[in-house]
Amino acid sequence: MLVLHGAGVGKGIAIGKAFVLSGGTVTVPEYSIPESGQKQEVERFRNALDEARGQLEDIAANIPKDAPTESASFIEAYLLMLKDPLIADQPIDTIRTRKVNAEWALQIHSAGLIKAFDAMEDEYLRSKRTDVEHIVNRIQSNLLNIRHETLGHITSHMEGKVVIAHDLSPADAVLLKNHSVAAFAIDLGGPISHTAILARSLNIPAVVGLHGATRYIAHKETVVVDGKRGVLMAGTDKLTLEAFEERRRYVEAKQLELQALVHKPAVTKDGVAVTLQANIELPEDIGSAAKVNPQGVGLYRTEYLFMNRPQPPRETEQYTAYCRVAKRMKNPVTIRTLDLGADKQVDGGRREGPTNPALGLRAVRLCLKEPALFTPQLRAIFRASAQGPVKMMIPMVSNLDELSQVMDLIEEVKSELRREGKQFNENLPIGGMIEVPAAAVCADLFASRLDFLSIGTNDLIQYTLAIDRVDDEVNYLYDPLHPSILRLVKTTIDAGKHAKIPVTMCGEMAGDPRFTKLLLGFGLRIFSMDPAALLEVKKKILDTNVGIAEKFAAKALDCKGSQELRDLVTALDQT
């Protein structure tokens, strides 16, 4: 059995006969052209350009009307590139001055262009080198008379097949979808290429960046594409195929089943209502989050507004972003103040790397040290609170003095806004993220000073167990079911209950259905998670009897080790 790994970009599983598109990388020959042959060589180059133009216009004419409008605009961009002096004229100069063949002249220029793209700082723009490669490959193939089996002519034979290609242009991907292709897998491309983005929006299983798929997969061979894991398999035996077919049906059925839960309230079997919220990173995430009908946003990570740019965003830009989210939601939006530092640095590398960034100047520590960074954000959040139900959450609090400093700064901001006559919610709820073990142990102290607590399990686990999650040597020790973690979680939930303030959980543990029943047993009632996990957690909640979960949870606190705990949690899951 052959298994190739790439990046899964379109979710889902497909099984079908491979349809391998020939073509792909062209070997570019180099030879010299005497002066007498130059006129003819230039002519040959121009013909190749004309031919490419005709091919692109053909594709444009064949794009189905209901395809996303972007697919046509790719072609428009490609047509402009064909006319651009850098592609259309400069190789001609090179044919004349360096006395080389058209292919080699084009190669020289395209290599320069691609090098310039590779040097770009912005990841997205850098990935656009594929646009240049597409257009150059098309011209080269025309020059070399390589007849691509252009998709337009053969798509009718592709229904239900898995298309394997060296590369596909975004326009090709649209055509495939409209001819009911089961999936596609390509050698080139990364998860943020146009083709990948289209695969996601077209909802077709796809794997990109497979390096060698066209070489190893035979035409008409049966293959399996797993878009979730980014795998292409061939030569699978009958049993494996059956297993995948079963899984494919299972995934399909499960998606349908979960979809039915979207508008169902999250209430346990014994009538306990639970609040499920979404974690978001960018204002535009709110659109996809809304599809699973969350009851508010439990964690809006604002640091993404600050990344990939030389200067931090001004107050107005932040205000606009926060309002966009707040206005869309009827339910509370919890805006977390800047959590930069550690693995998330502002661009421009303002500070030298500390030896241990996770324990260094980050999150609220950084904000307090640099009020010029923090104050505009506080002002923007408060001003947004006049436009919608906004809450504010401070990350990484570890002692009360620090919290007092934040509160002082907040009071200053409030009186400043009052002076300016700006509207805001005087009672905007302010909460703290419990992610440093010190804060969890003293959760009662924090609960007495705050309006809500939110448990950030990712850092809490990393700090409590002294494990760097990204360190391959030790991350096997990263264990949400370590007795220490459960005790800290329980302590925090109890502290909130005692102080009569809400406690939420927004770390990965909240979105892991394996832990849902246990957390309910501990008394957690507000879960915030990646929207993709929300319906599965809701399903678990509908299946929970809190009375039983509480009994298991009490026992869990007495467990001595992770294995014992895992057995208990598995048993609870079966109840």
Partner 1 sequence: MLQQTVTIKNKLGLHARAAAKLVNTANRFESSVVLNNKGKGADAKSIMGIMMLAASQGTELKLFVEGNDESEAFASVISLIDNRFGEEE
- Where in the sequence numbering do the catalytic residues fall? 194, 506
Q: Smallest distance, Å, CB 79 to partner 1?
A: 8
Q: Which is nearer to partner 1, 76 or 245 (CB)?
A: 76
Q: Does 111 bind partner 1 (CB under 8 A)?
A: no
Q: Smallest distance, Å, CB 308 to partner 1?
A: 7
Instruction: Mark 500-539 with x for binding to partner 1 (rule: CB under 8 A) and - for no binding.
Output: ----------------------------------------
How far apart are alpha carbons 212 and 468 in whole angstroms?
Answer: 35
Q: Which is nearer to partner 1, 282 or 532 (CB)?
A: 282
Up-side HSE of residue 434: CA atoms within 13 Å toward CB? 29
How far apart are alpha carbons 120 and 124 in whole angstroms?
Answer: 9
Q: Smallest distance, Å, CB 83 to partner 1?
A: 8
Q: Which is nearer to partner 1, 172 or 226 (CB)?
A: 172
Q: Smallest distance, Å, CB 87 to partner 1?
A: 6
Contact 228, 10 (CB under 8 A): no
Q: Smallest distance, Å, CB 80 to partner 1?
A: 4
**DSSP-derived 3-state class of residue 240:** helix
Using CB under 8 A, pick the residue from 311, 355, 356, 574 that binds partner 1.
Answer: 311
Query: Which one of the spans 49-57, 99-107, 119-127, 543-551 is the region binding partner 1 (CB under 8 A)?
Result: 119-127
Contact 181, 205 (CB under 8 A): no
Q: Which is nearer to partner 1, 220 or 309 (CB)?
A: 309
Using CB under 8 A, pick the residue from 50, 93, 122, 252 that binds partner 1.
Answer: 122
321 to 380, contacts with partner 1 by CB under 8 A? none
How far apart are alpha carbons 331 and 326 in whole angstroms?
Answer: 9
Q: Smallest distance, Å, CB 25 to partner 1?
A: 22
| Nearest CA among 263, 302, 310 for reference residue 285 | 302
How far apart are alpha carbons 163 and 225 in whole angstroms?
Answer: 10
In order of 24, 141, 143, 188, 515, the CA distances from 147 in angstroms are 11, 7, 10, 20, 56
* Residue positions counted in the chain: 575
Site size with partner 1, rule: CB under 8 A: 29
Q: Which is nearer to partner 1, 198 or 553 (CB)?
A: 198
Looking at the DSSP bridge assignments, the partners of residue 186 are 165
264 to 303, contacts with partner 1 by CB under 8 A? 284
Query: Which one of the spans 17-25, 307-315, 396-404, 534-542 is the region binding partner 1 (CB under 8 A)?
Result: 307-315
- The angle, 0 to 180 degrees and rounded to 10, between the axes of the packed helices 562-574 and 483-499 is 60
Q: Smallest distance, Å, CB 77 to partner 1?
A: 4
Q: Which is nearer to partner 1, 5 or 83 (CB)?
A: 83
How far apart are alpha carbons 270 and 521 in whole angstroms?
Answer: 12
**DSSP-derived 3-state class of residue 417:** helix
How far apart are alpha carbons 191 and 200 in whole angstroms?
Answer: 10
67 to 86, contacts with partner 1 by CB under 8 A? 70, 73-74, 76-78, 80-81, 84-86
DSSP state of 218: P
Instruction: Give residue for tokens 């009375």.
Output: 547
Give the DSSP letter string of 203-216: T--EEE--SSHHHH
Using CB under 8 A, pick the residue from 13, 52, 63, 113 that binds partner 1.
Answer: 113
Query: Phi and psi dihedrals of 101, rounded to 5?
Result: -75, 160
Q: Which is nearer to partner 1, 135 or 185 (CB)?
A: 135
Q: Does 57 bind partner 1 (CB under 8 A)?
A: no
Q: Smallest distance, Å, CB 124 to partner 1?
A: 6
Q: CB under 8 Å to 28, separation ≥6 — which residues?
A: 103, 104, 106, 107, 140
Q: Which is nearer to partner 1, 133 or 402 (CB)?
A: 133
Q: Does 128 bind partner 1 (CB under 8 A)?
A: yes
Contact 4, 232 (CB under 8 A): yes
For residue 370, what are its two tokens?
A: 């640099």
Name the site residues for partner 1 (rule: CB under 8 A).
Answer: 70, 73-74, 76-78, 80-81, 84-87, 113, 116-117, 120-122, 124-126, 128, 131-132, 284, 308-311
